[in-house]
Amino acid sequence: MPELVWHDGQIFPPEDARCSCLDRGRLYGDGLFETMRAYSGQVFRLDTHLARLTASADRIHLVLPMTSEELQTAVQKTLKESELASAYVRLTVTRGVGGSPSQLDTSTASVTIWVRPFSAYAPELYPKGMSAVLAEARRNEHSPLSGLKTLNYLDNLLARAAAQQAGAGEAIFLNTSGQLAEAAASNLFIVEDSCVLTPPIEAGILPGITRACVLELCAAEGIPFTEASLEVDQLPAAEEAFLTNSLMEVMPLTSFAGKAIGSGQPGEITKQLQQAYRGLVDEETKA
């Protein structure tokens, strides 16, 4: 079965999976999710994704209905049953049904795992690079939801849709202080004086799993790196820039607001990190 849904303990083909229309995820966006990628039938950094989910659940007072070990087993079982080697794996947790809007009762919290064939970003983007524009909305680094992958994702979807309408692939968010934050569905890196720079978590960004891998790889490869507040002008003036997320890995960002970044081609450090990331994935997911 290439596409499967695990929902609160049972596995279904997607058309048979059911949940309440009164679920708080649906009513209020009261929940969290993780988007993961499986290679060779194994989810890359599953434990780190589950650690982020658990830490985020604590922050919104959502008691997960399953332990990390149980979640891990459910993800692995669903993936195995799908027989997919290369897959998109999404885990969604909601606070479930019931309670007044302000009551944070989690006794009916609900878990859904969705596994489907991985559909890659257009392969021609990797050698060419992606373009981005500035998002209209801002990341709110003061929000209690800052840094969480919650079901309140509409800012991101609207920004990405607007970017695509403008002929770009991604939208870059500033935070409320006007500093660079992240993209609609990825973390942002620039290279300045051969040093890799990325905004700190306090800039209001998601602590990306891929971002953390890239910082690990910079250390391993001897590439200078630092987390630093970045002004918007630093992006078009950068030598190189790139974006990261679990699905697209390391994507060169070669133009911003219609202007080339650096040479307008993927830079050498970006290419080195792209390769190193692939190597890390191979190492951790080989059968």
Using CB under 6 A, list all residues that contact ligand PLP. Answer: 35, 156, 182, 185-187, 206, 208-211, 244-246
CB nearer to ligand PLP: give 156 or 179. Answer: 156
Q: How many CA atoms lie within 13 A of 56 on its CB side?
A: 25
Q: Provide the CA 25 distance to its chain's centre, in angstroms.
A: 19
Strand partners, 170: 132
Which DSSP string corresponds to 236-251?
TT-SEEEEEETTTEEE
Measured CA to CA, the distance from residue 243 to residue 181 in angstroms comes to 12
**Least distance in angstroms from the C-beta of 45 to ligand PLP:** 9
**Least distance in angstroms from the C-beta of 246 to ligand PLP:** 3
**Least distance in angstroms from the C-beta of 249 to ligand PLP:** 9
CB nearer to ligand PLP: give 24 or 45. Answer: 45
CB nearer to ligand PLP: give 16 or 202. Answer: 202
CB nearer to ligand PLP: give 106 or 187. Answer: 187
Indicate the burial class of 124 (C-beta count within 10 angstroms; 0-12, 13-18, 19 or more). Answer: exposed
**Least distance in angstroms from the C-beta of 34 to ligand PLP:** 8
Judged by DSSP in three states, 45 sits in coil
Helix-helix angle 46-59:209-221, to 10 degrees: 130
Measured CA to CA, the distance from residue 25 to residue 38 in angstroms comes to 25
**Least distance in angstroms from the C-beta of 211 to ligand PLP:** 6
CB nearer to ligand PLP: give 64 or 215. Answer: 215
CB nearer to ligand PLP: give 146 or 255. Answer: 146
CB nearer to ligand PLP: give 62 or 148. Answer: 148
Q: What is the Rg, in whole angstroms, of the alpha carbon atoms belonging to the chain?
A: 19
Residue 227, Cβ neighbours under 10 Å: how many? 15
Q: How many CA atoms lie within 13 A of 219 on its CB side?
A: 7
CB nearer to ligand PLP: give 187 or 254. Answer: 187
**Least distance in angstroms from the C-beta of 186 to ligand PLP:** 5
**Least distance in angstroms from the C-beta of 223 to ligand PLP:** 18
**Least distance in angstroms from the C-beta of 269 to ligand PLP:** 18
Q: Phi and psi dihedrals of 238, rounded to 5?
A: -70, 155
CA angle 280, 281, 284 (to 5 degrees): 85
Tally of residues, the chain: 287
> In which residue are the tokens 């999710």 written?
33
